[in-house]
Amino acid sequence: MATNRTFTMLKPDAVENGHTGAILEKINTAGFRIVALKKTQMTKADAEAFYAVHNERPFFGELVEFMTRGPIVAAILEKENAVEDFRTLIGATNPADAAEGTIRKLYATSMGENAVHGSDSDENAQIEGNFHFSGREQF
């Protein structure tokens, strides 16, 4: 299987609750190589653009409010089958449905405040990674 990349954000709830180190350790142990990594905070315009695909959904305003309320940790990750394997590692969107041992099962508090983002396709992984990191920040 080919090596490819995914993009993740440790969301404001995970960072506020002090789970950054534990989540990065789980990502590392699962075999992902860190290509790019930073702590940053999204503006309202950033979050509206990043989540534009959801702009008609009823939770959009709440999502933008949440994602901008504090710092996030953004990262590009590399591994064989990265997109699918990372979504398996993080678990279902709603932590109540997430499998035991997944990052959302361990660290998410609700459907909205669910600790981590994971890209849903190779194409979106590239778009999302380039949204947060320049070419000079990706190794």
117/96 Cα distance (integer angstroms): 16
Separation in Å, CA 49 to CA 14, 61, 70, 80: 22, 12, 17, 28
Answer yes or no whether residue 68 interacts with ligand RTP by CB under 6 A.
no
- Going by the annotation, the residues of the binding site for ATP are 11, 59, 87, 93, 104, 114
Binding residue for ligand RTP (CB under 6 A) from 5, 14, 98, 118? Answer: 118
Whose Cβ is closer to ligand RTP: residue 76's or residue 139's? 76
39/30 Cα distance (integer angstroms): 21
Whose Cβ is closer to ligand RTP: residue 35's or residue 98's? 98
Q: How big is the site for ligand RTP, counted in residues (CB under 6 A)?
A: 9
The burial of 69, by beta-carbon neighbours within 10 Å (0-12 exposed, 13-18 middle, 19 or more buried), is given as middle
Answer yes or no whether residue 79 interacts with ligand RTP by CB under 6 A.
no
57/135 Cα distance (integer angstroms): 32
**DSSP code of 138?**
-
Q: Which parts of 94-133 interact with Mg ion (CB under 5 A)?
A: 120
Whose Cβ is closer to ligand RTP: residue 26's or residue 117's? 117
| Known active-site residue 117 | yes
Q: Which parts of 92-111 interact with ligand RTP (CB under 6 A)?
A: 93, 111
Separation in Å, CA 112 to CA 13, 46, 130, 134, 135: 10, 18, 24, 28, 31
List residues with catalytic annotation: 117
Tell me which residues touch ligand RTP (CB under 6 A): 59, 63, 93, 111-112, 114, 117-118, 120
